Amino acid sequence: MNRIDLLHLIRAACDLLDVDEVVVLGSQAILATLPEDDLPAEATRSREADIAAPVDPDESLSHLLAGVLGEDSAFDRANGYFADGVSMTTAHLPGDWQQRAVRLGSYSVLRRRTVVGICPEAHDLCASKLSAFREKDLEFVGSLVEAGIVAAGTLRDRLATVPGIDPLALSRAVSWLDSLS
């Protein structure tokens, strides 16, 4: 995926949900920080962007996103990328992540105004990925640390502020980070 694809998904999600802002929670939120040409290939290989409505108490909006813009939808078949409709509880982000978030704006012709994808800053995004600790997340985070885009020390500090993070999960993530140096 590239930044233009992500901007298209943000516009499509905002238009579909009739909102001015959505939150991009998955790995492709990194495209708000840097253009794809400045990122390692491991950081942009996904065809999906995890997108959440900021307010979705019954998760009906995440289901709507998944159905209309999701994998194997007409949108996916036409564009080669898709939105995975998720809820705000999907990602385990550090405290105060919203204050550091990158706001990626794009003009929506349908809404006749700029719509915004709120994207976690790179360290916050990586802290969320390390909380999940899946193989694909480790590859993603490792590539950003190796490229010097994410600093291991800052990432350690952010991990410690993830609300409710299990102490064993924190220890595992910190040990993994330490193994990179």
CA-atom Rg of the chain in angstroms: 16
Q: What is the pLDDT along the chain (181 residues), one digit of tens a residue?
A: 999 999 999 999 999 999 999 999 999 999 999 999 999 999 999 999 999 999 999 999 999 999 999 999 999 999 999 999 999 999 999 999 999 999 999 999 988 999 999 999 999 999 999 999 999 999 999 999 999 999 999 999 999 999 999 999 999 999 999 999 7
Here the tokens at position 91 are: 């990602």
- φ, ψ at 13 (rounded to 5°): -65, -45
- 158 vs 165: CA distance, rounded Å: 11
Can you give the pLDDT at residue 75? 98
pLDDT reported for residue 3: 97
Beta carbons of 94 and 159 less than 8 angstroms apart: yes
pLDDT score for 110: 86
Question: What pLDDT shows up at residue 181?
Answer: 73
Biggest CA-to-CA distance, the chain = 49
What is residue 148's three-state secondary structure?
coil
Domain boundaries, the chain: 3-119, 122-179
Q: What is the C-alpha to C-alpha distance for residues 87 and 115, in angstroms, rounded to an integer?
A: 19
Q: Name the nearest CA neighbour of 123 among 69, 177, 61.
A: 177
pTM of the model: 0.94
